[in-house]
Every structure is written in structure tokens, then in C-alpha cells.
Amino acid sequence: MASLQQTMLSLQSKLPPSSFQIAKSLPIRRTNLPLRIGGGNAAGARMSATAAGSYAMALADVAKRNDTLELTSADVEKLEKVFSDPQVLNFFANPTVEVEKKRLVIDEIVKFSSLQSHTSNFLNILVDANRINIVTDIVKEFEMVYNKITDTQLAEVRSVVKLEPPQLAQIAKQVQKLTGAKNVRVKTILDPSLVAGFTIRYGDSGSKLIDMSVKKQLEDIAAQLELGEIQLAA
């Protein structure tokens, strides 16, 4: 998977010069935008989660009716990359930016990413409804809806270096054996903090973890040293 930085640089290089100049020319608030509705409290966060789930289910329903669930899932993965960039998310969530300017950038994202028409319409609905700021939550919710519909288990694999396809296939087989899922989708993330090795997170909301990293081994050794459990050889 290409890095987010490469993805965004590629997007910017392929768009007409005016597209991202629109975003860059406007004042962007450099604060952590609240992905919630109704204030900065727990109730607001729950409302945001409920809204994200509703939008995700609506998109999945349209995809099922059009028999384009797999293509829509691919669209959502592309959106995840684009909107993971804080500058992009902040631009669309900024209430001082005119809706028409947001639509222009949406059009360019749709064109560059080759998104389906109903995905494009979906993004514009979010802009019109002032819900584009929860798009990253919608992506997560859609992933869960998709996995449930298709009996797919998501395995998030973190490693220091990119793993080869045969290694990922072996991991997928192991996760399938552990969960009994019909399908397994592997999502890879590069994580230099692991030092070496890899981790696999799967299960409901990533509740299960297989840690084969050197970082974990070092932490275990440190814990043993702290507790005085190291047994010296005679």
C-alpha cells in the first residue's frame, strides 16, 4: 500500500492547479476538529457515532441494490487515504469555506480516484448536510458493515517492513482458522516502533492481538528485570 504522503502528492500532481490552490488559499483552522455533533461531551460523541453508522449503512444499502458492494468498498478505502490527511479533512470541515468550493474539490477527488457516481453523490450529500467532518468515522463504520455482510474478518497487520504476498496469505489463513470467517481481509500498516517482527489484530473491534514483534519481547524482558524474575544460569 502506498504511503499516505505519496498518495496525496500523487493526487495533487494529477489535479488541475486550481483545485488544491483553493484549499491552500483559504484559512484552515489548525485545531483538532471534533468528529461529533452537539457539543464536546460524551453525548455528542455518541450522536456522531450513531450518525456515522446510519450513513455507512445507507451507503452499503445503495451498493447492495446496485450490486456494487465490492467496488464501493474499494471506493471507501480510497476515501480513507484521502481524508486521513489533516489538511484535507480540515478544509472540508471548515465552516468558513463555501459549499461550492468544497464541491469543486470533491469533483477533482472523484475524477482522480475514479469513484462511482453514487459514491460521488454520497460525498456531496455529506457536504450539503454539514456532515463531511465525520467522514473518517463513516469509513470505519462502513468497514464493519461490509465485514458483517460478507462474513469477512479484518486482520490489521503492523510491521516494520512491507511483508510479501505469501507472508500475508499465510497470516490470512491463520486468522481464518482462528475465527472461522468465510473471508479475511488483510490491512497492512508500517510501524517502525515495533523494531522488527509484526503484530496481527483481529476480532470484534480488533479485540484480539497476536504480537510477534521485537518490541514486545523487549518489553517482556524489561518487565522481568523489573520484577526480578530473570533466572541466571548456574
Contact 146, 181 (CB under 8 A): no
Determine phi and psi for 209, rounding to 5 degrees.
Answer: -135, 130
Residue 34 pLDDT exceeds 90: no
Q: Report which of 146, 59, 88, 76 is spatially closest to residue 113, judged by C-alpha positions.
A: 76
The single-letter DSSP state of residue 129 is T
For the chain, which residues make up each domain, given as ranges? 51-148, 151-229
pLDDT at 206: 73
Residue 62 pLDDT exceeds 50: yes
pLDDT band at 23 (very low <50, low <70, confident <90, very high): very low
pLDDT band at 219 (very low <50, low <70, confident <90, very high): confident
Does 51-148 carry CATH code 1.10.1510.10? Answer: no
- For residue 221, give the amino acid letter: I
Residue 18 pLDDT exceeds 60: no
pLDDT at 101: 93
- Average pLDDT rounded to a whole number, residues 79-98: 91
pLDDT at 227: 56
pLDDT at 11: 47
Of residues 165 and 34, more confidently modeled: 165
pLDDT at 189: 92
- Average pLDDT rounded to a whole number, residues 201-222: 81
Lowest mean pLDDT among 19-33, 92-106, 129-143, 154-168: 19-33
Residue 38 pLDDT exceeds 60: no
pLDDT at 44: 44
pLDDT at 228: 55
Report d(CA 206, CA 158) in Å as an integer: 13
% of the chain surpassing 90 pLDDT:
52
Of residues 219 and 63, more confidently modeled: 63
SS (H, E, C) 11-63: HHHHCCHHHHHHHHHCCCCCCCCCCCCCCCCHHHHHHHHHHHHHHHHHHHHHH
Buried residues in 141-177 as b, exposed as e (16+ CB within 10 A): bbbbbbbeeeebbbbebbbbeebeeeebeebbeebbe
Q: Mean pLDDT of all residues in the chain?
A: 78
